[in-house]
């Protein structure tokens, strides 16, 4: 997201239209419109539309809607931005949505946050919490799976041998100490 989004403005190209977040962008001369429903139980787009330019004589960078044109649409970035905007508007995709968005996991605190999100999904009964995290964060399943294995090896996750981890360790809880208070304070101040 852009810096403007932290000041209460929407990033360039995004607008709020009732119960919809709408992204309008130019794509090789074509008009891209992506709609995300604020009331949907998922974070991804509900619709995607590609239209020719308003002026039929305008030059476009492709010969119609091509595979190349479709591949140039960054759905992962659109999903990430929509998810962040929904959270900022207080419209997250219900309890099934993970609270933290971690595109990078580098510090011990990052691993503790990620472990907390994973355990939260396990406790909610998700059959594949790794897949849910990968989808929510716009990352590959392999990336998330590797991070979960590393978090367990680093002592942040615990559970029965050969089974998914189902609880945080004391080490993880120490890194998260006071986190609920900070999250509540940021929410009161309108921050993320």
pLDDT, tens only, 91-102 = 765 433 455 567
Asked if residues 96 and 41 have their Cβ atoms less than 8 Å apart, the reply is: yes
Query: What pLDDT shows up at residue 179?
Result: 59
pLDDT at 68 > cutoff 50: yes
Condensed to tens digits (0 to 9), the pLDDT of residues 157-166 reads: 999 888 888 9
pTM for the whole thing? 0.48
125-132 long-range CB contacts below 8 Å, 24 or more apart?
126/96, 129/164, 132/96, 132/98
**Cα–Cα distance between 83 and 72 in angstroms, integer?**
20
Query: What pLDDT shows up at residue 32?
Result: 95
Which range (5-14, 86-95, 179-188) has the least confidence? Answer: 179-188
Strand 167-168, strand 14-17: pairing: unpaired
Query: What pLDDT shows up at residue 41?
Result: 65
Torsion of CA 60, 64, 66, 68, to 10 degrees: 0
Matching residue, tokens 């089974």: 163
**Cα–Cα distance between 1 and 23 in angstroms, integer?**
12
Query: What pLDDT shows up at residue 177?
Result: 86
């Amino acid at each position: 997201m852009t810096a403007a989004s932290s000041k209460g403005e929407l990033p360039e190209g995004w607008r709020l239209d009732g119960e919809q977040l709408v992204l309008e962008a130019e794509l090789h001369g074509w008009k891209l419109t992506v709609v995300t429903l604020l009331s949907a139980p998922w974070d991804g787009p509900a619709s995607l539309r590609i239209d020719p330019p308003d002026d039929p004589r305008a030059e476009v960078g492709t010969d119609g809607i091509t595979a190349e044109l479709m591949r140039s649409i960054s759905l992962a970035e659109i999903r990430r931005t929509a998810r962040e905007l929904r959270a900022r508007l207080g419209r997250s995709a219900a309890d099934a949505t993970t609270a933290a968005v971690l595109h990078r996991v580098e510090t011990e605190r990052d691993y503790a946050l990620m472990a907390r999100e994973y355990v939260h999904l396990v406790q909610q009964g998700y059959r594949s919490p790794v897949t849910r995290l990968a989808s929510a964060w716009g990352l590959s399943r392999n990336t998330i799976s590797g991070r979960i294995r590393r978090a367990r090896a680093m002592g942040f996750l615990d559970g029965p041998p050969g089974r998914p981890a189902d609880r945080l360790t004391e080490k993880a809880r120490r890194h998260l100490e006071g986190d609920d208070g900070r999250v509540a304070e940021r929410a009161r101040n309108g921050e993320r």
